[in-house]
Amino acid sequence: MSTADSRQRSPQQLQPKPPDPVSAWLQIFAPIAQDLATVERRLQDSLQHSDPFIDELAQRCFRLGGKRLRPALLLMTAQAIGEVNDAHHTLAAVVEMIHTATLVHDDVLDEADIRRHEDTINARWNNQTSILLGDYLFTQAFYLASSLETTFGCRTIGRATNIVCEGELLQTAASGKFDLDRKQYFRIIEAKTASLCACCCTLGAHYAGADHETVKRLENFGLQLGLAFQIADDLLDLVGEEKTVGKSLGTDLTKQRMTLPLLVLRDQLATSEQQELQTLLDHPSSENSAALLNWLEESGALRQTRDLALAHADQAIRQLDFLPDTPAKHSLQQLPRVAVSRCV
Amino acid sequence: MSTADSRQRSPQQLQPKPPDPVSAWLQIFAPIAQDLATVERRLQDSLQHSDPFIDELAQRCFRLGGKRLRPALLLMTAQAIGEVNDAHHTLAAVVEMIHTATLVHDDVLDEADIRRHEDTINARWNNQTSILLGDYLFTQAFYLASSLETTFGCRTIGRATNIVCEGELLQTAASGKFDLDRKQYFRIIEAKTASLCACCCTLGAHYAGADHETVKRLENFGLQLGLAFQIADDLLDLVGEEKTVGKSLGTDLTKQRMTLPLLVLRDQLATSEQQELQTLLDHPSSENSAALLNWLEESGALRQTRDLALAHADQAIRQLDFLPDTPAKHSLQQLPRVAVSRCV
């Protein structure tokens, strides 16, 4: 922390204005827009319920997932390899349901009130309803996956979702651990976020008839994309504005999670400064958050973290070199940088 | 409520001593004891984890399920039809994991502290860990189910588990509804409990090569058994002793759930007495619980509810008439009455 003065400058003021996110996503998703509409209908059909209470909850969830990144990733991967088919539509609905289930449970864990500019399920109803609704979505997703001819979809989704839960458990265990190292951090974000992105690419490629090596390359694309995405999310949780992002932020500090920006800052500090940092982290308050944010900005930790996110985005993009030149490939190439641009 | 005097008699004193439950279960499970041991090893293998925190949680869960009723039901059904095979062992582990996942989440919903005479996960750790651990078990179960050759196992388990969640959601929505009717009550308990018992029988029979009609009969056996079991559980929640039962009790009254004994009592009361009952239910306290319990006993509502549980047990047993006379059939025949005897 260089001067007391610097703490009063808002880090947001130092950043360039981000591109309009909605139009960027729309442009990227253009090659699979029709398929995404089919997936929306499949989601809608699958979540309809004769009981008005369950139906209301399911319809609410339907709007929670937002930009449908995971279905789009699955569909674009499929199109980049060959053709999108009916199995892809089903699986795209499945991964969105799984993702929504994790969001519903995350909002209980994080005690979050806002998601996609709306009250969360726990805020509108209660934690009990959120827990059960998350379970309902998980099981509905697995049931839908089992409508495919082979067990490959169930196996891939079962494994990836289990790894997501593993990552969330590891994150809970790591809460308050000031000495968390980068290897442990990356293990957590790879499990809780990147594994489901990788799974989308695996499914997209496999069900389009790709060979084993091609599936592996695209899986790695998804993995690197997921890492870039989560690092960007961790940055957003610190520097974003709830009004723009549309969900509760600042959760990582409240939950005392050592995310990458904090690790980068910590690792460049002398021991006495590390103690000062730990004191700030041990006593979450809006004043300490503001001080911390300026420290992160002034030290260059935010910029270095953004560079790490961009490095993973670039590593993702390089995995795509072998693909024939198509609109779907072009969209996949744009995806990692747009994902990171949310926090640049 | 006949006299004030009668309220002071403990309903427990009016009941005959139940049979020793441990020896009764051991005797019933004897024909499939070796298979149950195989299932235990499969559960153990599947839940082992390299991370010590996740491993400790998983080992703890391993002890939560208790008597392994659902795996035993699946294995006994298989043996009654033909032979227990490797798919049955896997599926028996799967249904136990699913059941344990629902218990872990139930203990958060019910704010329960004790299960199988041990602290619950939420009591020992916290609600966050319980939610994630439940999700971890659900997804691990689905992953394990997808190791089978066909999607039948995944589909049957996905559907049944989804119905379980639906039942739990309906139960949450019905909380505090004094005018809940029997049809709604049975819809809830069929979904939240009986559907998984029915699923065990379906899987046991199908993977032993049974024809469609045989599978349906055994599925109906599981359904009736599940209904009998849940009615007995609802009685136990009112009249059981935590020391004997080994889990937190009285939850239904605290959560203002209209279970069958209360419906039976309500339906035989005049309007003014119904209002008195509703007042007792609207103000949960140990004093009101004691008064309620005596009212249930004196009115005959407890006995009538036990008779309804026994009627479902008998209906279950009748489904088995067509089976050849084997030790497995004999065990299946004993199961419903032993399940109900917990509360007789």
Q: What distance in Å separates residue A205's CA from the closest CA in chain B?
A: 20
Asked whether residue A10 carries a pLDDT value surpassing 50, the answer given is no
Q: What pLDDT sits at residue A65?
A: 63
Asked whether residue B1 carries a pLDDT value surpassing 70, the answer given is no
Determine contact, residues B273/B140, Cβ cutoff 8 Å: no
Judged by CB atoms closer than 8 Å, whether chains meet at B172 and A140 is answered as no
Q: What pLDDT sits at residue A14?
A: 41
Q: Is residue A277 part of a domain?
A: yes
CA distances from A222 to A75, A106, B33, B241 (A): 13, 22, 46, 53
In the structure encoding, which two tokens stand for residue A174, read together? Answer: 């790591």
Judged by CB atoms closer than 8 Å, whether chains meet at A165 and B135 is answered as yes
Q: What pLDDT sits at residue A209?
A: 97
Mean of the pLDDT values across residues B125-142?
92
Q: Is residue A261 part of a domain?
A: yes
Q: Is residue B5 part of a domain?
A: no
Mean of the pLDDT values across residues A23-41?
93
Mean of the pLDDT values across residues B189-194?
97
- Least confident span in A1-15, B243-257, B302-316: A1-15
Judged by CB atoms closer than 8 Å, whether chains meet at B129 and A169 is answered as yes
Asked whether residue B3 carries a pLDDT value surpassing 60, the answer given is no
Judged by CB atoms closer than 8 Å, whether chains meet at B131 and A170 is answered as no
Q: Is residue B152 part of a domain?
A: yes
Query: Who wins on pLDDT, A14 or A155?
Result: A155
Judged by CB atoms closer than 8 Å, whether chains meet at B135 and A108 is answered as no
Asked whether residue A165 carries a pLDDT value surpassing 70, the answer given is yes
Q: What pLDDT sits at residue A107?
A: 81
List the single residue in A105, A136, A147 with the smallest CB-CB distance to B135.
A105
Query: Who wins on pLDDT, B343 or A134?
Result: A134
Q: What pLDDT sits at residue B192?
A: 95
- Nearest Cα residue in chain B from A141: B158
Give the domain CATH number at B133.
1.10.600.10
- Least confident span in A3-17, B36-50, B217-231, B291-305: A3-17
Distance CA A121, CA A107 (A): 8
The values of phi and psi at residue A331, to 5°, are -65, -45
Domain boundaries, position A99 = 19-341
Residues of B in contact with A168 (CB under 8 A): 132, 135
Kindly report the average pLDDT of chain A as a whole number.
Answer: 88
- Nearest Cα residue in chain A from B140: A162
Q: What pLDDT sits at residue A3?
A: 38
List the single residue in B102, B132, B149 with the smallest CB-CB distance to A169.
B132
Q: What distance in Å separates residue B302's CA from the closest CA in chain A?
A: 29
Q: What pLDDT sits at residue A4?
A: 39
Mean of the pLDDT values across residues B188-208?
98
- Least confident span in A178-182, B128-132, B189-193, B197-201: B128-132
Judged by CB atoms closer than 8 Å, whether chains meet at A154 and B172 is answered as no
Residues of A in contact with B142 (CB under 8 A): 142, 154, 157-158, 161
Question: Where does the pLDDT of residue B163 fall: very low under 50, low under 70, confident under 90, or very high at 90 and above?
Answer: very high
- Nearest Cα residue in chain A from B50: A166
Q: What pLDDT sits at residue B120?
A: 72
- Could you give the percent of chain B with pLDDT greater than 90? 70
Mean of the pLDDT values across residues B10-33?
69
Count Cβ neighbours within 10 Å for each residue of B102-125 and write b for 16 or more, e otherwise.
bbbbbbbbbebebbeeeebbbbeb
ipTM: 0.89
Judged by CB atoms closer than 8 Å, whether chains meet at B135 and A168 is answered as yes
Asked whether residue B242 carries a pLDDT value surpassing 80, the answer given is no
Mean of the pLDDT values across residues B77-83?
96
Asked whether residue A11 carries a pLDDT value surpassing 60, the answer given is no
- Least confident span in A16-20, A196-200, A335-339: A16-20
Q: Among candidates B224, B6, B221, B257, which has minimal Cα distance to B109?
A: B257
Kindly report the average pLDDT of chain B as a whole number.
Answer: 88
Q: What pLDDT sits at residue B289?
A: 86
Count Cα neighbours of B15 within 13 Å in the Cβ-side half-sphere.
21
pTM of the model as a whole:
0.89
Judged by CB atoms closer than 8 Å, whether chains meet at B151 and A151 is answered as yes
Mean of the pLDDT values across residues A74-88?
97
- Least confident span in A47-56, A202-211, B135-144, B232-241: B232-241
Query: Who wins on pLDDT, A72 or A60?
Result: A72
Q: What distance in Å separates residue B83's CA from the closest CA in chain A?
A: 24
Predicted confidence (pLDDT) per residue in A224-264, tens digit: 999 999 999 999 988 876 556 656 557 788 888 999 999 99
Q: How many folded domains does chain B comprise? A: 1
Mean of the pLDDT values across residues B98-122?
79
- Asked whether the CA dihedral A136, A207, A32, A316 is positive or negative, the reply is positive
Judged by CB atoms closer than 8 Å, whether chains meet at A151 and B150 is answered as yes
Q: Is residue A180 part of a domain?
A: yes
List the single residue in A57, A146, A159 with the smallest CB-CB distance to B158.
A146
In the structure encoding, which two tokens stand for residue B268, read together? Answer: 């035989």
Q: How many CB pairs under 8 A join A and B?
A: 147
Predicted confidence (pLDDT) per residue in A285-308, tens digit: 888 888 999 999 999 999 999 999
H or E element that contains B316: helix B301-318
Asked whether residue A7 carries a pLDDT value surpassing 60, the answer given is no
Judged by CB atoms closer than 8 Å, whether chains meet at B138 and A134 is answered as no
Q: Among candidates B327, B302, B340, which has minimal Cα distance to B21?
A: B340
Asked whether residue B290 carries a pLDDT value surpassing 60, the answer given is yes
List, in order, residues 6 or more apart from B174 with CB less than 8 Å away: B180, B184, B188, B257, B258
Q: Among candidates B116, B138, B134, B102, which has minimal Cα distance to B67?
A: B116
Q: Among candidates A193, A186, A247, A182, which has minimal Cα distance to A225?
A: A193
- Nearest Cα residue in chain B from A187: B51
Q: Is residue A11 part of a domain?
A: no
- Asked whether the CA dihedral A273, A277, A279, A280 is positive or negative, the reply is positive
Residues of A in contact with B164 (CB under 8 A): 139
Residues of A in contact with B146 (CB under 8 A): 151, 154-155, 158
Asked whether residue B8 carries a pLDDT value surpassing 80, the answer given is no
Question: Where does the pLDDT of residue B65 fall: very low under 50, low under 70, confident under 90, or very high at 90 and above?
Answer: low
Residues of A in contact with B195 (CB under 8 A): none
Asked whether residue A316 carries a pLDDT value surpassing 90, the answer given is yes
Count Cβ neighbours within 10 Å for each residue of A193-225 and write b for 16 or more, e otherwise.
bbbbbbbbbbbbbbbbebeeebbebbbbbbbbb
Predicted confidence (pLDDT) per residue in B136-145, tens digit: 999 999 999 9
CA distances from B301 to A136, A271, B13, B305, B307 (A): 34, 70, 16, 6, 10
Q: Is residue B281 part of a domain?
A: yes
Question: Where does the pLDDT of residue A116 fall: very low under 50, low under 70, confident under 90, or very high at 90 and above?
Answer: low
Asked whether residue A20 carries a pLDDT value surpassing 80, the answer given is no
Judged by CB atoms closer than 8 Å, whether chains meet at A146 and B128 is answered as no
Q: Is residue A8 part of a domain?
A: no
